Structure 1
Amino acid sequence: MRHPIRLPALVAGLALAVTACTNASAGAGTSAPQAAPASATGGSPATKGAVDAAAAALLPAAIKSKGVLAVASDASYRPFEYFDTDNRTMIGFDIDLTDALGAKLGLKVRHVNAGFDSILPGLAAKKYDIGASAFSVTPERSKTVDFVPYLNGGSGLAAKTGNPLGLKMDPMSLCGHTIAAQKGAIQGLDQLPTISKICTDAGKPAVKIELFPSQDGANLAVVSGRVDAVMADTVSLGMQAKASNGQFELVPGPDYEPAPTGIAVPKGSALKAALEAAMKTALTDGTVESLMKKWNLPASTSLKPRS
Structure 2
Amino acid sequence: MKNKAVAVFAVLGLALLGPALAGCADPGSTGGAQDLAPTAVSEASSAEPIRAKPNPEAAALLPAAIKERGTLVVGNSPGSAPLSFYASDNTTIVGSDPAFAQLVADALGLKLELQATSWADWPLGVSSGKYDLVISNVTVTEERKERFDFSTYRNDTLGFYAKSDSKIGEIKEPADIAGKKVIVGSGTNQEKILLAWDAQNKAKGLAPVELQYYDDVSASDLALQSGRADLTFGPNATGAYKAAINGKTKLLGLVPGGWPLTAEIAATSKKGAGLADAVTAAFNGLIKSGEYQKVLDRWGLSSEAVTSSRTNPPGLPKS
Fold agreement, TM-score > 0.5: yes
1:271 is displaced (CA, Å) by 1.0
1:260 is displaced (CA, Å) by 2.6
* Aligned counterpart in structure 2 of residue 106 of structure 1, from 109, 113, 132: 109
1:201 is displaced (CA, Å) by 4.5
Q: Deviations over 1:160-209 (max 9, x none)?
A: 44337779464344456664445775424x43443344345446546536
Q: 1:154 to 1:296 in 2, by over 3 A?
A: closer
Q: Distance in 2 between matches of 1:262 and 1:18?
A: 28
Name structure 1 gaps, 5 residues minimum. Answer: 1-11, 25-42
1:153 is displaced (CA, Å) by 4.5
Q: Distance in 1 between matches of 2:68 and 2:272?
A: 20
1:274 is displaced (CA, Å) by 1.2
Q: Match of 1:7?
A: none
SS at match of 1:303: coil
- Give yes or no for the alignment of 1:194 onto 2:192: no
1:80 is displaced (CA, Å) by 2.0
1:118 is displaced (CA, Å) by 4.1
TM-score, structure 2 normalization = 0.68
Name structure 2 gaps, 5 residues minimum. Answer: 1-8, 22-46, 311-319
- Give yes or no for the alignment of 1:275 onto 2:279: yes
Superposed, 1:97-176 pairs within 5 Å as 97-163=100-166, 168=171, 170-174=173-177
SS at match of 2:160: strand
Q: Distance in 2 between matches of 1:60 and 1:97?
A: 20
Q: Distance in 2 between matches of 1:119 and 1:293?
A: 27
SS at match of 1:78: coil
* Aligned counterpart in structure 2 of residue 241 of structure 1, from 243, 248, 255: 243
Q: 1:76 to 1:306 in 2, by over 3 A?
A: closer
Q: Deviations over 1:32-73 (max 9, x none)?
A: xxxxxxxxxxx9553142x32232232223333443322222
Q: Match of 2:51?
A: 47
Task: Tell me if structure 2 keeps the 8 A contact 1:178–1:207.
Answer: yes
- Give yes or no for the alignment of 1:16 onto 2:13: yes
Task: Tell me if structure 1 keeps the 8 A contact 2:82–2:299.
Answer: yes
Amino acid at match of 1:158: Y
Q: Number of aligned pairs?
A: 268
Q: Distance in 1 between matches of 2:149 and 2:62?
A: 16
- What's the Cα RMSD here? 3.6
Task: Tell me if structure 1 keeps the 8 A contact 2:179–2:209.
Answer: yes
Q: Match of 1:56?
A: 59
Q: 1:90 to 1:129 in 2, by over 3 A?
A: same
1:238 is displaced (CA, Å) by 1.3
Q: 1:282 to 1:195 in 2, by over 3 A?
A: same
- Give yes or no for the alignment of 1:289 onto 2:293: yes
SS at match of 2:136: strand
Larger RCO: Structure 1 or Structure 2 (Cα < 8 Å, ≥ 6 residues apart)? Answer: 2
Which deviates more from structure 2 when the two are superposed, residues 81-90 or residues 169-178?
169-178
Q: Distance in 2 between matches of 1:116 and 1:262?
A: 15
TM-score, structure 1 normalization = 0.70
Q: Deviations over 1:125-181 (max 9, x none)?
A: 444322222333344544443321122352112234433777946434445666444
Q: Match of 1:35?
A: none
Q: Match of 1:31?
A: none
* Aligned counterpart in structure 1 of residue 267 of structure 2, from 263, 268, 279: 263
Which deviates more from structure 2 when the two are superposed, residues 171-180 or residues 280-289?
171-180
Q: Distance in 2 between matches of 1:62 and 1:193?
A: 47
Q: Distance in 1 between matches of 2:220 and 2:104?
A: 36
SS at match of 1:146: strand
Q: What percentage of aligned pairs have identical amino acids? A: 24
Q: 1:169 to 1:156 in 2, by over 3 A?
A: farther
Superposed, 1:31-110 pairs within 5 Å as 46-49=50-53, 51-110=54-113
Amino acid at match of 1:108: K
1:82 is displaced (CA, Å) by 1.9
Q: Match of 1:220?
A: 218
Q: Distance in 2 between matches of 1:202 and 1:140?
A: 33
